[in-house]
Amino acid sequence: MGVKYFLILLLILTACETAIQTVPTSEYQPTVTDTVDTPSVDLCKDLNCTSGQVCKEGKCECSSSTKLCSDKCIPKENCCANSDCTSGLCTNGVCAVPKECAYGEEFQNGECQCAKGKFYCEEQKKCINKDSCCRHTECDSFEKCMQTILTTSLCIEVEEKKSCKTFADQDRTELYDVKGNDYKAKPTNWWNDKSVTFQINNQSIRLKFNVMTNFSNATVYQEGITESGGYCKEDTTE
């Protein structure tokens, strides 16, 4: 009887035992991952930066307030090359202030040079059109070169009474009598913005094209610059 009851009790315990759940090997995820500490490497340890550069991740670079210029770091606000400047000239990190140039010239590479389509005529002391003659030897026999001449008209107005006279770039003085007022005037500078500086009654005044300007008790203005000449013409002089 004892053996019989023992077998029955064993069967009951086996039936009540909770089945063990297994996890497939392919879906098994370890709960703990072993990590290996990798020692950090100092990329700048053996790198010596020069010319004001600093090392960043193994490379020599300029700081945030500077920029690279010919292997040197310079302040960001400084110019590095002529192309950085509107004036076309960078000197010691500073852009040159553009100069005002004469009529027919423009400011290039730090100096006034003949504008595009023009060349400097030494005999006439000015820049003239490339298709214009500069000297008599460029013309055929019995011809002479009619030099390029700049002209403008200066108007002086007093109480609605106006007098205008034409000037050339040949250092000539004209006299005005407007409403009993005398004026002596001549042009002294012809500028590339088509303004002209006049000396009127020993006072210098620069006049822009068709811009009326008060002068003493008068209103003065110039009517623009025109070019004439620059061609060969038969020489009729004996």
Long-range contacts of 203-210 (CB under 8 A, 24+ apart): 207/154
Two tokens, residue 98: 């553009």
CA atoms within 13 A on the CB side of 61: 9
pLDDT, tens digit (0-9, with 9 covering 90-100), for 169-178: 999 999 999 9
Residues of the chain above pLDDT 90, percent: 54
**Residue 189, phi-psi category: left (phi > 0), alpha (psi -120 to 50), beta (remainder):** beta
Share of the chain above pLDDT 70, in %: 83
The mean pLDDT value of the chain amounts to 86
Q: pLDDT for 100-151, tens place per residue?
A: 999 999 988 778 999 999 999 999 999 999 999 999 999 999 999 999 999 9
Model pLDDT, residue 219 = 96
Cβ atoms < 10 Å from Cβ of 98? 16
pLDDT for the residue numbered 42: 78
Residue 216, both tokens: 């003493």
The whole-model pTM stands at 0.63
- The reported pLDDT for the residue numbered 26 is 53
How far, in Å, CA of 234 to CA of 144, rounded? 6
- Between 29 and 201, the higher pLDDT residue: 201
pLDDT digits (tens, 9 = 90+) for 9-67: 666 656 555 544 555 555 555 555 555 566 677 778 778 887 778 888 888 888 888 89
pLDDT number for residue 179: 93
- The count of other CB atoms within 10 Å of the CB of residue 128 is 22
Q: What pLDDT was estimated at residue 207?
A: 97
